[in-house]
Amino acid sequence: MTKEREQKKPFVWLIGNYAAELKFLLTTLLLLCSFVTFFQFIPSRFTISASDLRVCISRVSQVIIPTPPSSISHLTTTTLSPPPPSPSPPSPPQEKLLPNGILKRVFNPYGSAAYNFVSMGAYRGGLKTFAIIGISSKPLHVYSKPTYECHWEQNINPNDTKTNMSKPMSTVGYKILPDWGYGRVYTVVIVNCTFSEPINNDNKGGKLILYASTSGGGDTNFNTTDKFEVLTEQPGTLDVSVFTSKPKYDYFYCGSSLFGNLSPQRIREWIAYHVKFFGPRSHFVIHDAGGVHEKVLEVLKPWMDLGYVTLQDIRDQERFDGYYHNQFMVVNDCLHRYKFMGKWMFFFDVDEYIYVPPKSTIKTVLDSLEEYNQFTIEQMPMSNKLCHTDDYGKSYRKWGFEKLVYKDVKQGIWRDRKYAVQPRSLYATGIHMSENLQGKTTHKTEGKIKYFHYHGSIAERKETCKVFKNSTKVTYDETPYELDTTLRGIAGVIKKFELKMIGSRLQKTRQ
């Protein structure tokens, strides 16, 4: 059962309990309101103003307060608990007739609808530089120019509370908006804080504080500044050797937000394939935005136990409406968080399989691309329903990349590419490539490396083979396909590898 469903249950139960009272209340209110509405149209002493109506409406909306207790656990209680009874608010300024006969209208602002900044993480990028990753109100960034300032408050004497005061240093925060305008209520912001001298040089510790100013965006009358701590370095914890030493891993995978009803079997295949492909000096960071339900966790767990996979629960990001479960924020957080952990960093999805031709290995290919800090990877789009007649009747026993053997060969259409980078040279990243980096990028990787894309197969919990074909070239839905058994050919090797690495514990995994 998915987590999502579990959460809905208590809500239904709650409503069930209240149903009778609620129905009665709502009916009464409805009657009352219709009376009010009705009276409105009687032109006489019975006039009822619009404000009475508003009372009606607001009462109705107040009734629907019961919130499922389990969903509260998602959010901080402070945001959800009803505000303490406050004295009635001051009456707002009213419009007035000026002496010159002009009616001066007023605009009364209340509350604010999107946060100025929601921070996900802040990381060091070197002796003097930091990156702060977050999201921020999109209109604020699209229609105005909010500004950022970074302060570092250094501890003077970490052992003595009395003199443990800080002397602030400041620098302008340079912002990067990496999501190409895809955001919704929120857009992704990377604030790059680069100071003029090394920070926390004496290792006594300190704090990075971000000042986020609207600078007249939202309300031109105000320059609202929010000030908050984004990073603390405890005394004695800064290890500057990290920035220059050889990374722990050769290949680091940063996954974007996983959501939906994912197939455990497809995830099982994907992780086994890629651990085999990238080898022992690799690591995978998976971000769970609701997609890692119990059965998916089961197939990841063995690899987590072996130290190959780090699973991060990012479900709370759902409160903030950004692009596709805030995936641009998530991959940027991953980039900066693990910047010094991997020589190469890969960004692609769990329905995609990286492949290099038989005579090469991922190492030989990447060595040949060493001079580039970024390269992009060509896509091989595979059908998610066409299978070969050979598998008819036994397809349910085959792995996805084993049985989905028809490649879309339609010419002349742009296909997305995926990419890999040397993360130390990046300031921010996107989904299909980074535009904020130092050094060279190449797209000429044909014949060296490619990826097979099984779009639409990953959230399918039923048998994926829908149509069986018996030739090397077929046309289906007006799209030409060709048989491509490249990955089918190595399925046996991957299955054996999985068995060797984690034993038979996943043999019973189903769609």
Ligand X SMILES: *[C@@H]1O[C@H](CO)[C@@H](O)[C@H](O)[C@H]1NC(C)=O
What residue ranges bind ligand X (CB under 6 A)?
125-126, 129-131, 147, 149, 155, 157-159, 161, 164, 192, 194, 205, 207, 211, 213, 215-216, 223, 225, 232, 234, 389, 427, 470
DSSP 364: H
CA distance 309 to 418: 21
Q: Which is nearer to ligand X, 56 or 132 (CB)?
A: 132
Q: Which is nearer to ligand X, 263 or 395 (CB)?
A: 395
Nearest to 193 by CA among 117, 118, 126, 146: 126
CA distance 407 to 474: 10
Q: What are φ and ψ of residue 492, in 5° steps?
A: -60, -45
Find the shortest distance in angstroms from Cβ 219 to ligand X: 12
Find the shortest distance in angstroms from Cβ 215 to ligand X: 4
Residue nearest to ligand X (CB): 125
Find the shortest distance in angstroms from Cβ 135 to ligand X: 18
Q: How many CB atoms lie within 10 A of CB 84?
A: 5
Find the shortest distance in angstroms from Cβ 347 to ligand X: 16
Find the shortest distance in angstroms from Cβ 430 to ligand X: 15
**171 SS3 class:** strand
Q: How close are the terminal C-alpha atoms of the chain, in Å?
A: 13
Find the shortest distance in angstroms from Cβ 157 to ligand X: 6
Find the shortest distance in angstroms from Cβ 231 to ligand X: 11
Q: Which is nearer to ligand X, 149 or 435 (CB)?
A: 149
Find the shortest distance in angstroms from Cβ 379 to ligand X: 28
CA distance 322 to 330: 11
Q: Which is nearer to ligand X, 76 or 232 (CB)?
A: 232
Asked whether the beta carbons of 365 and 355 are under 8 A apart, the reply is no
Cα angle 197, 198, 202; round to 5? 130
Q: Which is nearer to ligand X, 229 or 370 (CB)?
A: 229
Q: How many CB atoms lie within 10 A of CB 161?
A: 8
Find the shortest distance in angstroms from Cβ 421 to ligand X: 12
Asked whether the beta carbons of 298 and 304 are under 8 A apart, the reply is no
Q: Which is nearer to ligand X, 62 or 161 (CB)?
A: 161
Distances (CA, A) of 294 to 5, 72, 291, 307, 309: 12, 21, 9, 19, 16
Q: Which is nearer to ligand X, 112 or 470 (CB)?
A: 470
Q: Which is nearer to ligand X, 468 or 497 (CB)?
A: 468
Q: What does DSSP say about strands 282-288 and 309-313: parallel, antiparallel, or unpaired?
A: parallel
> How many whole angstroms from its chain centre is CA 94?
44
What does the block give as tokens for 297?
């966790």
Q: Which is nearer to ligand X, 207 or 455 (CB)?
A: 207
Asked whether the beta carbons of 419 and 451 are under 8 A apart, the reply is no
